[in-house]
Amino acid sequence: MASGNFATPKALLAIADRHIDEFRLFMLGAQKGIPDRDGVIYESPFLGPGMRLNPRLNYIPCRLSLVPVLLSNNFKPDVVLLHGSQVREGKVSLGVEVNILPAAIEAAKKNQGIIVLQTNPQMPYTFGDGEISLDDIDYLIEVDEELTEAPHIPLNDTSLEIGSLIADRVANGSTLQLGIGAIPNAVIESMWKHQGLKIWTEMFSDGVLELARSGSIDPASTLTASFLFGSRDLYDWANLNERVHMHRTEITNDPGVISMQESMTSINAALQVDLYDQANASFVNGQPYSGFGGSTDFIVGALHSMGGASFMALPSWHEKSGSSNIVHRLSEASTSFQHSFVVTEQGVAECFGRSAAEQASNLIENAAHPDAREALRLKATESGLLG
């Protein structure tokens, strides 16, 4: 088991690769450059480019909020490899990646496992559940290596239009959860004039930093997340920043806790949405591309929040294949279902609180590309969804 996303413990993984012939490697959002050879079996409920489509991958379908249960009961770690900050007052911080790691440490200790940490001056010290006592670390090595940074994602006209449509429906004072990608970034681009926003999210990137600097986020609030996914500027800002609270997955992704946030607004992206308001955000050509991640946790939590809403966003048309992303039935496995709104550059389809027929009609007339609407109407009528 190793820290994932942009906290990959590269030095520790290199040592494991040199000295252990066969091992299972459990990571979330694994990046390129991890050990990749016969004898190394990948395990993950959420895939990054380092594991995606690998023939030695054991994909484990699981909501992010339940991954700690997997580690406790089904995939007990023998060794946990961590990437942390420099030592401060007898503690190290897991920095940009807290996530499921506290649960992994606890599961390993119950299993008489070993905790190894590489301490790095370039890892920010963040406060919260990622602060680990040196007493919990069995072995510690010192490294000085750059952290991976998120690539810049250009925002095209489609993303910006979708972002604007969503931002128009988000009230001042709302609490935001934003996924990864161009569309969540575009939403942020359209929200700099908002006031009193709050952040309770699985992860955040540089866009949230810009909202904080612009004054759109309530200055008295804390920004709660489980991991960070951004630039060196973001990491430097988060270092020793008491406004940033990094919590374990069991807190950030608990739908019950999410539902208690003021006007909780969940904004995620999908690959396809069908006329039954089922979204695929995980599979391409029958193979897992990412996984459920935390979107399912936040969709449920947002729907239960007073004044909350769940937005599922996507372009209406897939340019490369020349096909509609709003379909009659999903061609892949469903990641989530029942959202407040489905948003494309064509408009906003209201889904929650509508009958099945109204929901389908709204998706066709307000979200689907004009070139796809007639075929979707015909399919919906043939299936009895529309009269």
Pairing of strands 175-178, 323-324: unpaired
pTM: 0.94
Distance CA 46, CA 49 (A): 10
Q: Write down the number of H helices and E strands in the chain.
A: 12, 27
Per-residue DSSP letters for 105-140?
A: HHHHHHTT-EEEEEE-TTS---EETTEEEGGG-SEE
Is 90 exceeded by the pLDDT of residue 264?
Answer: yes
Average pLDDT, the chain: 95
Q: Which of 202, 210, 332, 345 is catalytic?
A: 202
CATH number of 5-142: 3.40.1080.10
The pLDDT score that the predictor gives to residue 371 is: 97
Q: Mean of the pLDDT values across residues 55-72?
A: 95
Residue 202 catalytic? yes
Q: What pLDDT digit, counting tens, does each position of 223-252 carry?
A: 999 999 999 999 999 999 999 999 999 999
Q: What pLDDT digit, counting tens, does each position of 325-346 carry?
A: 999 999 998 999 999 999 999 9
Judge if 5-142 and 157-202+253-382 fold alike in CATH terms: yes
The pLDDT score that the predictor gives to residue 153 is: 80
Number of Cβ within 10 Å of residue 329's Cβ equals: 13
Q: Identify whether the C-beta of residue 65 lies closer than 8 Å to the C-beta of residue 297.
A: yes
The pLDDT score that the predictor gives to residue 228 is: 96
Q: Which helix (H) or strand (E) holds 272?
A: strand 272-274
Q: What pLDDT digit, counting tens, does each position of 269-306 carry?
A: 999 999 999 999 999 988 999 988 899 999 999 999 99
Q: What angle is formed at CA 63 by the lines to CA 57 and CA 68, rounded to 5 degrees?
A: 85
Dihedrals φ, ψ of 260, to 5°?
A: -85, -5
Residue ranges of the domains in the chain?
Answer: 5-142, 157-202+253-382
- The CATH superfamily holding the domain 157-202+253-382 is Acetyl-CoA hydrolase/transferase C-terminal domain (3.40.1080.20)
Distance CA 262, CA 168 (A): 18
Distance CA 99, CA 113 (A): 19
- Among 5-14, 115-124, 278-287, the range scoring the smallest mean pLDDT is 278-287
Question: What contacts 184, CB < 8 A, 6 or more positions away?
Answer: 178, 207, 267, 268, 269, 313
Distance CA 27, CA 71 (A): 11
